[in-house]
Amino acid sequence: MKLKEKVALITGGSSGIGRESALLFAREGASVVVADINEAGGKETVKMIKNEGGNAVFVKVDVSLANDCKKMVDLAETEFGGLHILFNNAGIMHNDDGNSQNTEESVFDLTMNVNVKGVFLGCKFGIPLIQKSGGGSVINTASFVAHLGAATPQIAYTASKGAVLAMSRELAIIHARQNIRVNALSPGPLRTDLLMKFLNTEEKKNRRMVHIPMGRFGEAAEMAKAALFLACDDSSYMTGNEFLVDGGITAAYVTPE
C-alpha cells in the first residue's frame, strides 16, 4: 500500500476527481477526510470508502471561508491524529463564465474565491499540520488552461487556474526544506459533471474534443492515479512542478486528422 498509515484531506470530494481520489487513496491505506460543500455527495463518498473497508469522515466545507478550512484541518487532527496529504481539489466552472465582456464581476469573484482563495486557505491551515505531522505532500488542482486559452471562453476559470499553478510553485519553494512537497495536477478536458455541465451542447463538446490528440475526454479515475503518484513517495524528488495529464492537448498546435 502506497499510503499506509497516512492521513489525506481532499476537498471537492463529493464527485469527479475528488471522489475517485478519495476512493483510491483509501484503497492504498490512507485515512481520508472528505471535504465538500455538497453534503449528500460527500457522505456518499465516505459510505463508498467504508463499504470497501476503508477509513473516512466527511466535513461540510465552503473552501472560500477561512473558518471552514480551519475546521476541516482540525478534523483531520482530532479524527486521525495528523495530516500528510492535502489535495486542494475543489473548484467551480460557472455556466455564466465567458469572455471579458459578458462575464459578470460576481461570477469572476466567485470563481476566484473558490478556485484560488480556496487553495490559499487550504494551505494556510493545512501546511502547519503537515509540518507537525513530519512532512508530506500538497497537491493543487490546476488545469491545462493555465497554458492554453480555452476554445470555449471561460475567462474567470482560466485566470484562476493560472493563479493556482503560480501559487503552487511559490509554496513549493517556501516549504522545500521542511519535508513538504507542493505540486500542481493539471488535467486536460475530462468527462466529469463539472465540464459536461459547462459544455452543455454537442457543439461545445465537439469544439473542445477536436483539439485533443487522443480523441477523447479524460476520466476522473485517470486523474486520481496521477494524484496518487504525487501523494506518495514515488514522487519523492518532485516539488514545484506540474503534472500535466491532458491527452496531449498542450503538445498540439494543430487539430489532428
Which residue numbers are catalytic? 157
Sequence spans of domains, the chain = 7-188+219-244
Confidence (pLDDT) at 257 = 52
CATH class held by domain 7-188+219-244: alpha beta
Confidence (pLDDT) at 172 = 98
pTM over 0.75: yes
Confidence (pLDDT) at 105 = 98
Of 80, 41, 64, 91, whose CA–CA distance to 194 is shortest? 91
Q: Which three three-digit cell numbers place residue 75?
A: 478534523
State how far the Cα of 46 lies from the Cα of 65, in Å rounded to an integer.
23
Confidence (pLDDT) at 191 = 78
Q: HEC string of 200-226? A: CCHHHHHHHHCCCCCCCCECHHHHHHH
Contact 157, 97 (CB under 8 A): yes
Helix (H, G, I), strand (E, B) or coil at 106: helix
Contact 36, 42 (CB under 8 A): yes
Burial class (CB in 10 A: 0-12, 13-18, 19+), 90: buried
Contact 152, 202 (CB under 8 A): no
The helix (H) or strand (E) run that includes residue 162 is helix 155-175
Quote the distance between the C-alpha of residue 89 and its chain's center: 2
For 57, phi then psi, to 5°, come to -145, 150
Contact 212, 248 (CB under 8 A): yes
For 232, phi then psi, to 5°, come to -100, 180
Local confidence pLDDT in tens for the 257 residues of the chain: 999 999 999 999 999 999 999 999 999 999 999 999 999 999 999 999 999 999 999 999 999 999 999 999 999 999 999 999 999 999 999 989 999 999 999 999 999 999 999 999 999 999 999 999 999 999 999 999 999 887 778 999 999 999 999 999 999 999 999 999 999 999 988 877 766 676 667 766 666 667 788 888 899 999 999 999 999 999 999 999 999 999 998 998 755 45
Contact 247, 213 (CB under 8 A): yes
Confidence (pLDDT) at 233 = 97
Output the DSSP codes for 58-96: EEE--TTSHHHHHHHHHHHHHHHS--SEEEE------TT
Q: Which three three-digit cell numbers place residue 116?
A: 484560488
Q: Which three three-digit cell numbers place residue 134?
A: 513530519
Q: Which three three-digit cell numbers place residue 84?
A: 500528510
